[in-house]
């Protein structure tokens, strides 16, 4: 399944959860949200991954009208799973990369010659959507990620070197410690006692 095909749901209540043998030797898991008759499914081992009556958000792809859940992008609604959130943000960023890179190249003016730079808004859309915009910028400031002055629509701003952004975000993900629910802290963002990680249904290119 290609990441560009990934869709996300709002929070749904899982009902009619079933597990049945599948032809490949594994098991077909299927369920419907409480509020619709839409069937979602995935292939996994026999052990249930979801609970009837519990609230989840998740990512899925569509293949010949069948909605396949990506098991790496399942999160219980009450408590954000940062790994799922970063996974979905990365997948959606991959989907946006070509368009956002082109927008940045067209709209961001800078004098750097040592690599490809992205305006900070476009960099966040590709690499940082699991985070609030300001936390993304605070983190890159703290680790001194390479940047250059730039102008966007005639206004002064900064642009980030694209090389190294993916690994920087991965380092932040592995440094997280939960404070409560969707609030986390990291020694790599010392400016904040805590900050929010978005649940996968809240990941969007809006601030």
**pLDDT tens string 82-106:** 999 999 999 999 999 999 999 999 9
Q: What is the mean pLDDT of residues 99-125?
A: 95
Q: Which domains does the chain have, with CATH numbers?
A: 3-76 (2.40.50.140), 97-202 (no CATH)
Strands 147-152 and 27-33: unpaired
Task: Give me the half-sphere count of Cα atoms (radius 13 Å) on the Cβ side of residue 119.
Answer: 20
Q: What pLDDT sits at residue 2?
A: 42
In percent, how much of the chain has pLDDT > 70? 96
Which helix (DSSP H) or strand (DSSP E) does residue 99 occupy? helix 82-107
The set of residues, in sequence order, having a beta carbon less than 8 Å from that of 75 and lying 6+ positions away, is: 56, 57, 58, 81, 84, 85, 199, 200
Q: Is the dihedral of CA 176, 145, 102, 151 positive or negative?
A: positive
Q: How confident is the model at residue 1 (pLDDT cuts 50, 70, 90)?
A: very low
Task: Find the helix or strand (DSSP H, E) in which 37 lies.
Answer: none
Contacts of 84 (CB under 8 A, 6+ apart): 59, 72, 73, 74, 75, 200
The phi-psi region of residue 154 (left if phi > 0; otherwise alpha if psi is between -120 and 50; otherwise beta) is left
User: Which tens digit of pLDDT belongs to each residue from 27-81?
Assistant: 999 999 988 899 999 999 999 999 988 889 899 999 989 999 999 899 887 678 8
């Amino acid at each position: 399944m290609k990441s560009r095909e990934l869709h996300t749901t709002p929070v749904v209540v899982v009902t009619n959860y079933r597990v049945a043998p599948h032809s490949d030797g594994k098991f077909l898991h299927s369920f419907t949200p409480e509020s619709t008759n839409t069937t979602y499914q995935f292939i996994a081992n026999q052990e249930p991954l979801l609970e009837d009556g519990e609230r989840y958000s998740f990512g899925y792809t569509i293949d010949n009208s069948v909605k396949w859940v990506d098991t790496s992008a399942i999160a219980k609604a009450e408590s954000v799973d940062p790994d799922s959130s970063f996974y979905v943000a990365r997948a959606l960023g991959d989907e946006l990369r070509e368009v956002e890179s082109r927008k940045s190249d067209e709209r961001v003016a800078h004098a750097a010659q040592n690599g490809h730079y992205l305006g900070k808004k476009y960099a966040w859309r590709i690499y940082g959507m699991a985070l609030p915009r300001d936390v993304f910028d605070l983190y890159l400031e703290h680790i001194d990620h390479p940047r250059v002055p730039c102008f966007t629509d005639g206004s002064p701003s900064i642009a980030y070197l694209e090389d190294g952004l993916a690994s920087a975000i991965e380092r932040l993900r592995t440094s997280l410690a939960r404070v409560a629910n969707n609030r986390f802290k990291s020694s790599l963002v010392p400016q904040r006692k805590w900050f929010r990680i978005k649940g996968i249904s809240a990941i969007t290119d809006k601030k």
